[in-house]
A and B are shown apart, each in its own frame.
Chain A
Amino acid sequence: MHLRKISTAAVAAATALTLAACGSENDSGDTGDDPVAEVSGAQAEDEGTVLDQPFDKPELLLTDTNGEPYDFVEETARRATLLYFGYTHCPDICPLTMSNIAVATAGLTEEQRADLRVVFVTTDPERDTPEELGSWLANHDPEFTGLTGDFETIQEAALALGVAIEPSYEDDNGDIVSTHGTQVLAFLPTDDKAHVVYTEGVTAQTFERDLPGLIAGELP
């Protein structure tokens, strides 16, 4: 993870160099956009970030992988809850995130597992049917909950939690482009608020370390 920071500094230096010497060079990858919500400051990348101002649980009425209505607030009340927004036609970050969590849930006791909810909300409801979501998640952990529904409803809930997602669209290649969140939110069972955010660099070990405490209502 330190490598990543070093490379960033190197990039800055290298970019300056490039601009100075090759003014016409077009660094096509660089849009100048930084991530909208950079949560971590001095925080190590392999740790969750404890929020000063926790997020309320958003109202979210969706459909679960059995095709049944699912009221997120009601179903996850007084349970430690991990929430992630992603899509299944995603070869990299979405399965990595869910695999990291699955490694950690596999190490929990039955009692701990019963007190935890892991909820994956699709950002691509058009392609992620309840059936597809169900079989995809079952490959990680059959206990995971998958939700789909109206994109605007999902986007609004995500935004309320600082997660920016855009509707899927077809690009010039004819490919469907979807977006995923970059963070997992952890709600505590004590007040049903999201107190911890896990960003993209977090590993399975972090979830292994933190989950038992979160389930017991403790901050990492």
Chain B
Amino acid sequence: MIRRGIPAVAAALALALGGCGDDGGGEPELEAGGAFIPEPVTADMAGGFLTVTNTGDADDTLVSVTSDLTGTVEFHETVDNAMHQVESLPIPAGGELSLGRGGTHLMLIDLSRKPTEGETVSLQLHFETSDPITLDVPVEAATHTGE
């Protein structure tokens, strides 16, 4: 629900703020927050969750994420209880990109170690337009949902 909802909301917000998102000029203004990694079961993989808000007046795109924990961070959308990798994730002007449990998430693969609750993991978010954002992301309990 959330996964489907946000783009629609974002689109509507973009609309309200001045058109259908494909406006010329202006710049994205990004802020990332609410990030967490639930303690994974093994070092094989972990999920990552965060929100990127765009208060600017141009769209941006999350194109990659790098981490001190692994060289492989993928974007996965959840569709009908199955995950599908996507290349990038849109952050519409005046909207947000929300990665939450049960929806779109980061998938960190082949970790160099199994992070445990209380640690922090460094994630660097790379965008099409904006400068990278580096986050110290807390490792939360496996049951953490961010809600």
Chain A residues with Cβ below 8 Å from B8 are 11, 14-15, 18, 27, 30
Known: A18-B15, A27-B11. A140 touches B143 (CB 8 A): no
Chain A residues with Cβ below 8 Å from B147 are 1, 3
* Pair B42/A136 contact, Cβ less than 8 Å: yes
Chain B residues with Cβ below 8 Å from A179 are 80-82
Chain B residues with Cβ below 8 Å from A96 are 38, 101, 142-143, 145
* Pair B102/A92 contact, Cβ less than 8 Å: yes
Q: How far is the CB of A215 from chain B (nearest CB, A)?
A: 21
CB under 8 Å from chain A, chain B span 95-131: 101-102, 105, 107-108
Q: What are the interface flags for B22-50 relative to A under an 8 Å C-beta threshold, 1 for contact and 0 otherwise?
A: 00000000000000001011101111000
Chain A residues with Cβ below 8 Å from B4 are 11, 27, 29-30
| Docked pose: A192 CA to B104 CA in angstroms | 37
Q: How far is the CB of A94 from chain B (nearest CB, A)?
A: 9
Q: Is the interface on chain A under 10, 10 to 19, 20 to 34, or 35 or more residues?
A: 35 or more
Q: How far is the CB of B16 from chain A (nearest CB, A)?
A: 8
B46: nearest chain-A partner, CB-CB: A91
Chain A residues with Cβ below 8 Å from B145 are 96, 203
Q: How far is the CB of B68 from chain A (nearest CB, A)?
A: 18
Q: What are the interface flags for A133-166 relative to B under an 8 Å C-beta threshold, 1 for contact and 0 otherwise?
A: 0011001100000000000000000000000111
Q: Mind listing 29 A-B residue pairs with CB under 8 Å? A: A8-B1, A10-B9, A11-B1, A14-B8, A14-B12, A14-B13, A15-B8, A17-B12, A18-B11, A18-B12, A88-B44, A91-B46, A91-B47, A91-B105, A91-B107, A92-B47, A92-B78, A92-B102, A93-B101, A93-B102, A96-B143, A100-B143, A135-B42, A136-B41, A173-B85, A175-B84, A179-B82, A181-B81, A203-B145
Query: Chain B interface (Cβ within 8 Å of chain A)?
Result: 1-9, 11-13, 15, 20-21, 38, 40-42, 44-47, 76-85, 101-102, 105, 107-108, 141-143, 145, 147
